[in-house]
Structure 1
Amino acid sequence: MEFGVRQFELALMHRMRDLNAERVAAGIEAMGASRAELRAAHTQWTRMIHVRKGAAPLRAALGPPAHRGPQPFGSLTCEVLRWALPSWPGLEYEALLGPDGGLWNQWFVRPGAPAAVTFEELTAWRCVVADVQASFPGAAHREGQAPHHWAVDFTHEGAAYRARFVYGLYQRLDRVGG
């Protein structure tokens, strides 16, 4: 079975299902895919990333990146690769490669400046980590509970919330505490 953009999107959705099963079900339906195809894509992707390292699996699945360039981090210069994916228009999937070519991070980003979003505009699959960080002063980043999960804690109208992300893509909002 060939592994391309469609299969890659399904592999991403497999992990997103951890936090937003309903949105993933709607996404695979919109693609005309099945749950079996979702599982098969995840299995094949898992095999690919264990055999090929760095950005090689991403390049094999997605082709040449739409954007490629240096990204300085202190005294290090990393390489950033980005691809547009059909299921998430307006966003790009970004891979950050260390100086040795190792894959340091991969997640969705918004090209250019983060979008300003209101509390009411927090919608699954439309926001990325940087959007929430920029929109809610005092927001704090947290590690997620599984690989490729991330969280951002913030307050709104005196209540504490945790925005949950998979691959940097917003999935759901949880109230924290009381």
Structure 2
Amino acid sequence: MKKLMSESYAVKTANVLPPDSNSHGTLFGGRLLQYVDDIAAISARRHCRESVVTASIDSMDFLKPINIGEIVILEAMVTYTGRSSMEVMVKISKEDLTRESGKTLAAFSFLTFVAIGEDNQTIEVPKIEADNDRLQWLKDTGEERAKRRLERKEQSQSLSSFFSSDLLE
């Protein structure tokens, strides 16, 4: 079974308030990561209609600061699928509603989610089909990102045995 990428599309919008910000008056990176993980999980669940867990966050590339008083807009979509895994891209924009400047790209991130059944075992997810040429590019380049993700996971497993004791030992 295949599903269109657009079927997993999800949007989250939030005001950036002082409790969400650091001493520079910009959105905490950790708060943005919380928003990213939440909207990406919703997108993954929309795709597979099952429970999901976050397997990895490939990257979080901050391009522009998001300031107090602006709104943050997160758009998420499944861009690649494996057997039980789903890559979700999250595009993060900001908008200053006091100006007519429109939306500005502020960050983007790729995450991987795994679908799990009631027995907490992985389950197969539907394959994806691109809605248009632009989305086809994301799907086509997903395999390369998946290979890099696997290499990084292997490196992390090596590091985990190396650092299984206290860091300073």
TM-score (norm 1): 0.26
Q: Taking CA–CA contacts closer than 8 Å with sequence separation of 6 or more, which of the two structures ends up with the larger relative contact order?
A: 2
Q: Which has the higher strand share?
A: 2
- Pair member with larger Rg: 2
TM-score (norm 2): 0.27
